[in-house]
Amino acid sequence: MARRPSTRQSIRKAAQSKAAATETKTTTSAADAKVDVKVDVIKTKASKRKTAAAEPDLDGEDIENTSPAEDANSRESQETKKKPAAKKRKTANTTTANTAKEEAEGITMPLAPRTAVASLKRAMYIGAHVSGAGGVHNSIQNAVHIGANAFALFLKSQRKWVNPPLADEAKTQFRALLGEHGYDAGKHILPHGPYLVNLAQPDEAKAAQAYGSFLDDLQRCEALGIALYNFHPGSTGGEPMASACARIAAQLNRAHAATSSVVTLLENMCGSGNVVGSRFEDLRDIIALVDDKSRVGVCIDTCHAFAAGYDLRTPDAFARTMAEFDSVVGLRYLRALHLNDSKAPFGSHRDLHANIGTGFLGLRAFHNIMNHELLQGLPMVLETPIEEKGPDGKTVENKQIWADEIKLLESLIGMDVESAEFRDKEAELQARGASERQKIQDQVDKKAEKDARKGAKRGPKAKGKGKGNKKDEDSYTESD
């Protein structure tokens, strides 16, 4: 999947890190989007969570596109302040009489069973970006909790430059739980890089800081036996794109030389501001300058691709986009996907993740993906919204949404798009997201009208002369 200002802001940043002011958005729940799928399941037993004392509290857990509100210097000064005790995150999964006891004992009861991938018509490994708070080993229990066969996580706080080292106890428990639950760390676990890191940074001191954090993550991957690592390429900071791509490749070459095995995956972006990676050509140009081609690849985010102008909605459009990727980059470099619908319309360059089937991409786009033979075996990670209002009016996370979306995506494998089952589900999900799509469409239309008026006043000579936003230079995540 993708942890957004962009689509979604972290719910507990103020309580845990005071690293950024956030705005919590209410997202329409997809919890009732359940589908009945007859599949073999992997039985899992409830087990207690163990917390490694030396492991950092990860304050950014399920968010793909969070963008810090202040610059790096402000962040660093805030990090020196004493953090308050982390508050326990509320969830909407309190349906049994034993819930209080289970929570007290740290027991996680699965919201849905894991599907045996061998029982599917195509080997699709689907999951979500889960929390690793309290220790990276907890990410495995969180993945089991939603019935995931793949998952992403942050290996450390994605809001801080300095983090404690990976605890030995966490490494031991991580490897033990991998074996217990049958996850392949070499294929289906996809850590996400911190949003602070910009490998295209031209400033020498800031570039060194970014590289240090990046290398630390790769070393954590190798300590855990993880083979894939996904990250946002970076921002040009207003400088030429070619120069930015060259700096990213140079940093990758350094990191590859300092490590032995992790494959670094460039994520495609939506095309806002000075962000690198919105065009397949950007990814191609970076890869061309990487010395060890076996250590680099691409993770395609469906929302980003759609917002950047790559269509996936019909079989023909999907085939054209995949053919273009193959021609420009090469399908051999495609190693993972983030599965997100889009609240924003095609080519809008706005990064607003929507629940599967409720956005402008629609259910048919995901049917195209789930039935594409060449995507078998790749980790597919949901970064869709799971926040909703609880009975007390407070925002809570409903992990059942991810559990249901995993089953929904699995059900699309081999499904007839002309069947009543598909058409009814497609119509239901589109109706659920209609108001949000209209709201964002209105915003996009108003901005287009405003830009057109500005362009008319400036005249043709002034167009395209402006430099990028200053905020892109240090923190480059795409914003609206």
- Domain hosting 46: range is 13-459+467-473
Q: Specify if 1 maps to a domain.
A: no
**338 is a catalytic site residue:** yes
Q: Specify if 5 maps to a domain.
A: no
**76 is a catalytic site residue:** no
**281 is a catalytic site residue:** no
At 422, is the pLDDT very low, low, confident or very high (cuts 50, 70, 90)?
very high
For residues 262-266, give the mean pLDDT. Answer: 98
Q: Where are the alpha helices (DSSP H) in 70-186?
A: 72-79, 99-105, 138-145, 168-181
**372 is a catalytic site residue:** no
Contacts of 306 (CB under 8 A, 6+ apart): 312, 342, 346, 360, 361, 365
| Residue of 3, 12, 145, 159 with catalytic role | 159
**333 is a catalytic site residue:** no
Q: Which two tokens stand for residue 200?
A: 């295209």
The predicted structure's pLDDT at residue 364: 98
**349 is a catalytic site residue:** no
CA distance linking residue 362 with residue 365, whole number of Å: 6
| Residue of 4, 192, 220, 284 with catalytic role | 192
Q: Which two tokens stand for residue 1?
A: 């999947």
Q: Specify if 479 maps to a domain.
A: no
Q: Specify if 4 maps to a domain.
A: no
**Reduced DSSP (H G I as helix, E B as strand, rest coil) percent helix, strand, coil of the chain, to 5:** 40, 10, 50
**137 is a catalytic site residue:** no
Question: Could you read off the pLDDT of 70-82 as tens digits, one per residue?
Answer: 334 434 434 434 4
| Residue of 59, 61, 341, 351 with catalytic role | 351
Asked whether residue 192 carries a pLDDT value surpassing 50, the answer given is yes
Q: Specify if 233 maps to a domain.
A: yes
**301 is a catalytic site residue:** yes
Name the domain count of the chain: 1
Q: Specify if 2 maps to a domain.
A: no
Q: Specify if 7 maps to a domain.
A: no
* Domain of residue 145, CATH code: 3.20.20.150
Q: Specify if 329 maps to a domain.
A: yes
pTM: 0.79
| Residue of 338, 367, 432, 437 with catalytic role | 338
Question: Could you read off the pLDDT of 34-66 as tens digits, one per residue?
Answer: 444 444 555 555 444 443 333 333 333 333 333
**192 is a catalytic site residue:** yes
